[in-house]
């Protein structure tokens, strides 16, 4: 059995995911939907698989996501930053919230957006109903503020803005069309064709 087939077999056993062989053969991965533990597990598995298979070779990461769980997204973000393969991120549709952070995580100069793509940045929020003593609520509030600062710094670094601009812009939902996203610096260029190289 060829080495790549063995790697694919081990990957499927470890993650329980089916590899979309045609896309993975072309080093293309997708986030289509919310950022969850399940989607991040799939993405991290594919990123590590591609890195192991051919370190340093380009990976294209297509994103159409409303965002989701910050901790799940940060797992994908850290993986992108730690592998040697350059990751070309592409916004197709919408990259919102945590999806926008993953879009910005791509290799500078290689982050693109489709002509009708949209990007939305904002501050993180706590979902659901929290039932906890007052002291625990204070702990949760402090943690979300730390997360807000961390995400603003990530976006500031990725976009080339001072953190004060991100603090202002993420105070409420901040939408950008393709041209605005390029000007803002969260992406670098407009995608004009689908690249299968």
Tell me how far CA of residue 144 lies from CA of 17, 75, 108, 137, in angstroms: 32, 17, 28, 11
Pair 101, 151: CB distance under 8 Å: yes
| Active-site residue, from 65, 88, 100, 122 | 122
Alpha-carbon gap, residue 181 to 164, rounded angstroms: 18
Q: Any catalytic annotation for residue 97?
A: yes
Pair 106, 159: CB distance under 8 Å: no
Alpha-carbon gap, residue 65 to 18, rounded angstroms: 21
Question: What is the chain's alpha carbon radius of gyration, rounded to the nearest angstrom?
Answer: 18
| Active-site residue, from 65, 85, 97, 112 | 97
Which sequence positions are flagged as catalytic?
97, 122
């Amino acid at each position: 059995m060829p080495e790549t087939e063995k790697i694919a077999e081990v990957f499927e056993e470890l993650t329980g995911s089916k590899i979309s062989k045609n896309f993975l053969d072309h080093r293309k991965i997708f986030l289509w939907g919310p950022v969850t533990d399940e989607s991040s597990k799939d993405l991290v598995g594919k990123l590590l698989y591609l890195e192991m298979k051919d370190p340093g070779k380009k990976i294209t990461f297509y994103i159409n996501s409303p965002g989701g769980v910050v901790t799940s997204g940060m797992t994908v973000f850290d993986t992108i930053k730690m592998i040697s393969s350059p990751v070309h991120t592409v916004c197709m549709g919408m990259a919102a919230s945590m999806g926008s952070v993953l879009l910005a995580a791509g290799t500078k100069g290689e982050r693109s957006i489709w002509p009708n793509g949209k990007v939305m940045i904002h501050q993180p929020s706590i979902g659901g109903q929290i039932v906890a003593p007052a002291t625990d609520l204070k702990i949760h509030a402090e943690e979300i503020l730390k997360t807000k600062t961390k995400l603003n710094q990530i976006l500031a670094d990725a976009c080339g803005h001072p953190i004060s601009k991100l603090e202002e812009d993420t105070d409420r939902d901040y939408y950008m069309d393709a041209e605005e996203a390029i000007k803002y610096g969260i992406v670098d260029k407009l995608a004009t064709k689908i690249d299968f190289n």
